[in-house]
Chain A
């Protein structure tokens, strides 16, 4: 018996704008982009440290005071905070804690982590800056 050739199936591919049609996907992509800002910030920071280490303190300070660098740092901070807050929320989703008959909610994990983050900020500033 001859085997009938199957009709072609139609295959669709994700287009480059797939994340624009759903707000959850857009939020997810912004979270992914935060890594770019963190990476660039780290590279600038390493370069500034290398200037300090080689004795070019004035050049390092001039770079740090550059308005473009300051603007980028503010942007990087905003993206990093966005990453941190969305990640804190996700921690609550993927690692809910059972407390008696109730289970913790994601916003509770977000709140606890923000408080912990503020405590760590305060401790670091106290120890490294204001000592």
Chain B
């Protein structure tokens, strides 16, 4: 039985040698159940041990293996080779991030943004464990549930031209996560997060391109989170204007 061969065109960048990135082609034999990440692992194991890329779980959970596959930000572990049959598959590092080596990008900016929005439950006063858990109804959970599925893969940042033009923009995933906590009935940190998401380069920088929600591999809708955060901010501003004493 003849085996199909895929041509993988990978971005190579070796900062100690190369002034700028270039493409290198590899021929990889594949089966129907193989994904782009399998092809990269095949190259690393059999053809070129110097190829560098991130990966971990191989099942769309860790969010490490994101790359631009055929020009679209995707998890390489979820992109099947047979879907590109007959075409050269171009694998490039995620756009808008500085390239450290080959497919590895610098994630520092995203990591700072994640920490900035304080992705944990903030309580004015923590209750003791013996007092029991913070209870929540199914309806309350539904308000933020989808936004808690984010795996921080940064595909949404790679798809966002606003972030590409202005890296100060808080961006899709960080805002979606901020909204996840703002909408969590157990959280009391709205006043802490609001100034962060509503600052100049916060949600108001978003011009509704919407590609962040298209590329999300976990079905999270960051565009929705950003617009909902805008509505919450505008409503709050209006309320404080009309009722300066909080309506008391």
Contacts and interface: CB of A to CB of B under 8 A. Distances in A.
Contacts of A18: 161, 164
Nearest to B105: A9
Contact of B207 (A14, A32, A94, A96): A32
A14 B164 contact: yes
Given A24-B209, A28-B209, A94 B161 contact: no
Contact of B223 (A19, A21, A25, A94): A94
Nearest to B71: A21
B211 interface: yes
A9 B99 CA distance: 5
Interface string A47-81: 00000000000000000000000000000000000
B193 interface: no
A20 to B, nearest CB: 12
B25 to A, nearest CB: 20
Given A9-B100, A12-B95, A94 B224 contact: yes
Contacts of B98: 9-11
B208 A24 contact: no
Contacts of A32: 207
Contact of B20 (A10, A21, A22, A94): A10
Q: Give the bracket for the number of chain A residues in contact with chain B.
A: 20 to 34
Interface in B89-118: 95-96, 98-101, 106
Interface in A78-120: 90, 93-96
A93 B227 CA distance: 10
Contacts of B224: 93-94, 96
Given A7-B16, A24-B214, A90-B208, A14 B161 contact: yes
Q: Give the bracket for the number of chain B residues in contact with chain A.
A: 20 to 34
Contacts of A24: 209-211, 214
A63 B161 CA distance: 40
A100 B149 CA distance: 24
Contact of A7 (B15, B95, B223, B227): B15
A9 B207 CA distance: 29
A14 B165 CA distance: 7
A30 B99 CA distance: 31
A18 B227 CA distance: 24
Interface in A1-58: 7-12, 14, 18-19, 21-22, 24-25, 28, 32
Interface in B1-45: 13, 15-16, 20-21
B228 interface: yes
Given A10-B21, A12-B95, A25-B161, 10 more contacts: A8-B15, A9-B100, A10-B13, A10-B99, A14-B161, A24-B214, A25-B211, A28-B208, A94-B227, A96-B224
5 contacts: A7-B101, A10-B15, A12-B99, A14-B96, A95-B231
Interface of A: 7-12, 14, 18-19, 21-22, 24-25, 28, 32, 90, 93-96
